[in-house]
Amino acid sequence: MSTATASAAWELPSRGKVGMFSLFASEAAIFVIFIVAYLFYAGKSISGPTASVLHAPVLLTVCLLASSLTIHRAVAALRRGDVGAFAGFWVATIVLGAVFLGGTALEWRHLIREEGLTIRTNLLGTTYYSLVGLHAFHVTVGVLAMATVALLTAGGHVKREHAARVDLLSLYWHFVDVVWIAVFLVVYVAGR
């Protein structure tokens, strides 16, 4: 052992990325359990509405997936130093996320009022609202975090040197999208 500086470059992965991917592993494990419960109970409700009342939210899915594109463009812009373009794409991402949340709220209102499906109705209600709700909670957290960054950007505090950190938040957003693909396939394709 010596205390001289090492000659060869000693490069280790960025701790922010490692931390974020570890968080993804944990979140994935949580979602897997909710998905297992959903699939296990599919078709087993004793009474009440069946999965036929669920209609695939294609438009909302397109919005959410598109928001991955916009956030990707936003980060690329910030890396280039183009704060203006960054802000535009960033706000677009927030809007798309908010549309997703709003659309989910409308879907739920329909299910509760017209189809009589609540979290306490039957096994379908319990597993559906829990799984989709858990995902929507994560979308909400992402939207709030992005809104915070948007506020900071409006105040002129976000610059090119913050690109790596903003990128971490975008990784979270991509993860939320990937989880949505899984939830979508489970709820609207496999579970019906």
Task: Give me the residues that bind another protein (CB under 8 A), please.
Answer: 1-6, 10, 12-16, 18-19, 22-23, 25-27, 29-34, 37, 40-41, 44-46, 119-120, 122-123, 126-127, 130, 134
- Residue 22 or 80: the one with the smaller Cβ distance to another protein is 22
C-alpha separations of 175 from 33, 123, 168, 171, 183 in Å:
17, 27, 11, 6, 12
- Of 6 and 189, nearer to another protein (C-beta) is 6
**CB of 35 vs another protein, minimal distance in Å:** 10
Residues 120 and 126: beta-carbon distance below 8 Å: yes
Q: Between the CA of residue 127 and those of 34, 38, 107, what are the distances in Å?
A: 7, 5, 16
Q: How far is the CB of 173 from another protein (least distance, A)?
A: 18
Q: What is the CA radius of gyration of the chain?
A: 20
How far apart are CB 33 and another protein at their closest, in Å? 4
